[in-house]
């Protein structure tokens, strides 16, 4: 018998739960798909949020021929075979075929290069699915020819829809008398992942006595603990463990960070995935409290890419301990997010005239660049002048963190802000 998640896989947009920004009735992507003008695209999101399901829906409503490859077990030859079939098909069809590549981030550069020409000349329409940031994992020429659509973890409302549908529509579960008294544990342990939710629901319902089962938070936790190996047999704790790893480093617990690193390595996690997360950690959580952290993390990524396992474990361990034991600051992270929030709120505020570039005589006549003061011509390479748009001239985005490194920055910033406020 097929698993519950397969039995209930949606076939139409109306059956599709979640991702309303993509699959809702008025969503742009849905309109594009239903019009038949399907662009090449990359679907990016965590496991179990409906990437493959969305592709199946597209396959079901399009009149185009559809080819599927998995990056795990397909090579350049498989790609070329599909492209050749597509070229022959194009002789007899007005619409080019669709090629779906699951886990496209696992394709090497050469494999992705083999796709480029066919996508560029319209021989195929490419749909790729990935759990990794396509900016890192998909080559730029290919990425530039694809629309990127982001899928999110499912919310409680979406999970409720899936639970109710399973109980009322699945032929096997309909045979049971299921009473759900509490759902919080189902929400928590599914983590917004539809497949995890269905696996857990099926696991619990398989233990029904006399065709009856009552689901509570306690019963979910107990059943999950009893069957942890079954529940996690496909490695679905990937995101839970990387989350624990990140939070352990952020919390300066080197022992916990090393433990979660070991869990990932033992589970066969991609070492470059771990190294990339540490580059982000170095900027987001260590930041200006220890600017060298970013250099160390970047060197780690470069080193493990060259060395590989098993020796890469030592390089990763050294970097993890360095980051975990470094002073912490999220000031740079908060500064850019504060600035982005204001940009979205205020829009395109005009650049002050004295800061504008003046490459032409007309621009100079309009006072572009007039009265600009060159900082290096003044004492300490600093001169008081306005750098922000008039409307937000006194706005502050960066607040130095409470650590030794940023104390000196704070003193410098305070002297600057004092001069600005006094004007």
For 255-267, write each residue's pLDDT tens digit: 999 999 998 887 7
Domain boundary pick from 127, 150, 173: 150
Strand-by-strand arrangement of the 66-70 sheet: 66-70, 98-102, 125-130, 41-44, 147-150
Is 385 part of any domain?
yes
Is 334 part of any domain?
no
Comparing 333 with 266, which gets the higher pLDDT?
Answer: 333
Asked whether residue 35 falls in the same domain as residue 144, the answer is yes
Q: Which residues 6+ apart lie within 8 Å of 164 measured at CB?
A: none
* Confidence check: pLDDT of 232 > 50: no
Q: Which residues, in sequence order, are bridge partners of residue 42?
A: 128, 148
Provide the number of structural domains found in the chain.
4
Asked whether residue 57 falls in the same domain as residue 119, the answer is yes
State mean pLDDT over 149-168: 88
**What's 135's domain CATH number?**
3.40.50.300
Compute, in degrees rounded to 10, the torsion defined by CA atoms 406, 408, 409, 413: 130
Is 179 part of any domain?
yes
The model's pLDDT over 48-88, given as tens digits with 9 standing for 90+, comes to 788 888 988 888 888 778 888 887 777 788 888 888 888 87
State mean pLDDT over 380-405: 82
- Residue 80 belongs to domain spanning: 19-150
Is 170 part of any domain?
yes
pLDDT value of residue 261: 93
Residue 275: pLDDT band (50, 70, 90) is: very high
* Confidence check: pLDDT of 407 > 90: no
Asked whether residue 182 falls in the same domain as residue 114, the answer is no
- Burial profile 165-192: b = 16 or more Cβ within 10 angstroms, e = fewer: ebbeebeebeebebeeeebebbbebbbb
**Highest mean pLDDT range out of 103-112, 234-243, 294-303, 333-342?**
294-303
pLDDT, averaged across the chain: 84
Smallest Cα–Cα separation from 15: which of 72, 78, 60? 60
Asked whether residue 244 falls in the same domain as residue 207, the answer is no
State mean pLDDT over 374-395: 82
Asked whether residue 79 falls in the same domain as residue 95, the answer is yes
Domain boundary pick from 192, 209, 231: 231
- Residue 4 and residue 166 in contact, taking contact as beta carbons nearer than 8 Å: yes
pLDDT value of residue 238: 67
- Residue 156 and residue 297 in contact, taking contact as beta carbons nearer than 8 Å: no
The model's pLDDT over 175-184, given as tens digits with 9 standing for 90+, comes to 888 889 988 8
């Amino acid at each position: 018998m097929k698993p519950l998640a397969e039995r209930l896989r949606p076939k139409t947009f109306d059956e599709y739960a979640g991702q309303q920004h993509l699959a809702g009735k008025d969503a742009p992507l849905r309109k594009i798909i239903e019009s038949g003008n399907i662009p090449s695209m990359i679907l990016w999101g965590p496991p179990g949020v409906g990437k493959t399901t969305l592709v199946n829906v597209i396959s079901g409503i399009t009149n185009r021929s559809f080819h599927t490859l998995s990056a795990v077990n397909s090579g350049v030859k498989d790609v070329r075979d599909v492209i050749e079939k597509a070229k022959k098909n194009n002789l007899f069809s007005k619409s080019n075929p669709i090629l779906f590549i699951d886990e496209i981030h696992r394709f090497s550069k050469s494999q992705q290069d083999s796709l480029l020409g066919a996508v560029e000349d319209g021989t195929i329409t490419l749909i790729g699915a990935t759990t990794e940031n396509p900016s890192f994992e998909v080559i730029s020429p290919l990425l530039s020819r694809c629309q990127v659509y982001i899928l999110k973890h499912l919310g409680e409302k979406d999970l409720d829809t899936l639970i109710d549908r399973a109980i009322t529509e699945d032929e096997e579960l309909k045979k049971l008398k299921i009473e759900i008294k509490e759902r919080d544990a189902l929400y928590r342990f599914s983590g917004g992942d539809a497949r995890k939710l269905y696996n857990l629901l099926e696991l619990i319902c398989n233990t029904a006595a006399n065709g009856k089962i009552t689901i509570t938070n306690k019963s979910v936790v107990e059943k999950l603990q009893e069957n942890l190996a079954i529940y996690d047999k496909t490695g679905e704790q990937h995101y839970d463990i990387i989350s624990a790893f990140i939070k352990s480093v952020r919390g300066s617990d080197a022992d916990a960070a090393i433990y979660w690193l070991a869990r990932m390595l033992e589970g066969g996690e991609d070492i470059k995935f771990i190294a990339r997360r540490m580059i982000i950690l170095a900027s987001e959580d260590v930041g200006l409290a220890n600017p060298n952290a970013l250099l160390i993390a970047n060197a780690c990524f470069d080193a493990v890419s060259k060395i590989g396992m098993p020796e890469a474990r030592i390089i990763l361990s050294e970097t993890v301990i360095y980051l975990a034991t470094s002073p912490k600051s999220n000031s740079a992270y908060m500064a850019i997010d504060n600035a982005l929030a204001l940009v979205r709120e205020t829009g395109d505020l005009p650049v002050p005239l004295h800061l504008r570039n003046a490459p032409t005589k007309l621009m100079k006549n309009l006072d572009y660049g007039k009265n600009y003061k060159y900082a290096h011509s003044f004492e300490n390479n600093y001169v008081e002048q306005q750098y922000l748009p008039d409307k937000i001239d006194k706005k502050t985005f960066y607040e130095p963190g409470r650590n030794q490194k940023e104390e000196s920055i704070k003193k410098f910033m305070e002297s600057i802000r004092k001069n600005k406020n006094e004007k």
